[in-house]
Structure 1
Amino acid sequence: MNTPTQMTTDAPTATTKTAPASAQTSLPKVASNAVPPALLEQLRQFSVRADDATHRAGQAYARLLLLAEDSDCGQARRIAGFLAATYNGRCFALDPFELRAVDVEISDDMLCCLDALRWARADLHTLIPDGDTRMRAVIKRWGLRWPNGA
């Protein structure tokens, strides 16, 4: 009976083993030691960074949202536009030059939010209580327009 063979590289030189007949129709299984330890460590570090960025962004987003909800200063309108873009980037464009037009602390919070978006662990408005309702109210308060009246 002909059975497929598979190559293993556990030893310094490759050897050939005969696979069991049940493996003929399934994909070969990857041995748990097939992932290089350096790659596993890099993935672990990425996970830690993503978790940290998401945590920091939740705090930053809350501060920005409070400013957009309660402040009437010119920066609050820019903050509202930024928050709208992170809420729905297809409907509200993000102008990165807006980062230059706000105080350093505010732009730092905006950058924290962008870092969390990069890792894509959560939609930022979901990190705070009533985030969806509050964001819709900010969009309305500042007269930001949904395309096609959405």
Structure 2
Amino acid sequence: MSSETAPPSDHGAPLTTPRSGTPCPGPRSSNPHHPVKARFTLPAHEALVGCLRRAARTVLRRWQLSADAQESALLIVGELAANAAVHGRSEMSLHLVLARGTLGILVGDHGDPAPSHHRATDDDPDEHGRGLDIVHTLSTRVDLHHDDHGTWILACLAVTGARTGAD
């Protein structure tokens, strides 16, 4: 991933979106044996959204988030990844950052512009268009950044029960 398409840094500093500048807590752990962040990048294909969800599920279980927090986070990941796959560019990325009771979920599309995706006219309208509403409902904060290199959405989720060695 080039620096032009890179999401906000999560190397010890607060995770922020370029537009908002408002921090979503980033990792503070000095113990490299207890990861507090994870990154995954895949081709932006709808068939791979489930792969990102499964990867997130594995990480969230390892971080020992509560069952409710895991369920909410996986809904957010699924909705944002589906948007990135359908409306995005050639790649989609998921970044998870856990610190001080907040899980930052950053999903982006980047890379070469993808061909335009048009929804079929026979698609059920009840099955589309609710993803960001779900993300806003579950999150304590949602930020969107869009430029010529792609779109990044950061959702912050309050979590309990996490054990990563970060706090």
TM-score, normalising length from structure 1? 0.28
The answer to which structure, 1 or 2, has the higher relative contact order (CA under 8 A, 6+ apart) is 2
Identify the structure with the greater helix proportion: 1
Identify the structure with the greater strand proportion: 2
